[in-house]
Amino acid sequence: MEALLAITIGVLVATSVYLMLARNVLRFIFGLVLISNAANLIIFVSGRLTAGAPPLIPEGADGPVGDVANALPQALVLTAIVIGFGLFAFALVLMFRAYTTLGTLYSDDMRIAEPRTEDTT
């Protein structure tokens, strides 16, 4: 199970790096979504995978009985997903705004804040 997830993470990272190397910022954003999900999976796997043992405490007991799944990484991933979603929404709107005000999605053409030297002279 760990191996399968490790390969999935690898594929996700490879795909997202390919996307993020594109000059089109929209592709870059999609790459960013994929790589943030890869990071979430890393946290999930580092908590070790335990199948079919929910961390539930039986009635009357003080703690879970026997080996149960680690619940902490899931809480962390949940937090990271929420934050990642917020950042992605912001980035998407920013790209849209860039497209409407700058008229381009290509990062090479975005030179207003740092004009080429030949443009300024």
Partner 1 sequence: MTWTLATPLVLPFLTAVLAFLARYGAAGRWFSVAGNAVLLAASILLMVRVLDQGVIAAQMGGWSAPFGITLVADYLSAVMVVITAITALAVSVYALTDIDARKERLGYHALFNILIGGVVGAFLTGDLFNLYVWFEVMLISSFGLLILGGNKDQIDGGIKYVTLNLISTILFLSGIGLLYGMTGTLNMADIARTLDTVENQGLVTVVAMMFMVAFGVKAAVFPLFFWLPAAYHTPAFSVSAVFAGLLTKVGVYALIRMFTLVFDGDVAFTHQILLWVAGLTMVTGVLGAAAQNDMRKILSFHIVSQIGYMIMGLALLTPLAVAGAVFYLVHHIVVKANLFLIAGVAERTAGSTNLDRIGGLYKSAPLLAILFFIPAFSLAGFPPLSGFWAKYVLVAAAIEDQGWIIAAVALLVGLLTIFSMTKIWAEAFWKPHPEGADPALSQLTPQARRHLLIPIAGLAAMTLVIGFSPDPFVTFAKDAAAQLLDPTAYITTVLGGKA
Helix, strand or coil for residue 24?
A: strand
Q: Which is nearer to partner 1, 65 or 102 (CB)?
A: 102
Helix, strand or coil for residue 106?
A: strand
Q: Which is nearer to partner 1, 59 or 90 (CB)?
A: 90
To partner 1, the closest distance from the beta carbon of 51 in angstroms equals 18
Q: Which is nearer to partner 1, 53 or 89 (CB)?
A: 89
To partner 1, the closest distance from the beta carbon of 61 in angstroms equals 19
Q: Which residues bind partner 1 (CB under 8 A)?
A: 20, 25, 28, 32, 35-36, 38-40, 42-48, 73, 76, 79-80, 83, 86-87, 90-91, 94-95, 97-98, 101-102, 107, 110-114
Residues contacting 44, CB < 8 A, separation 6+: 5, 73, 74, 77
Give backbone dihedrals phi and psi of 58, rounded to 5 degrees, phi first.
-65, 155
**Separation CA 104–CA 69 (nearest Å):** 48
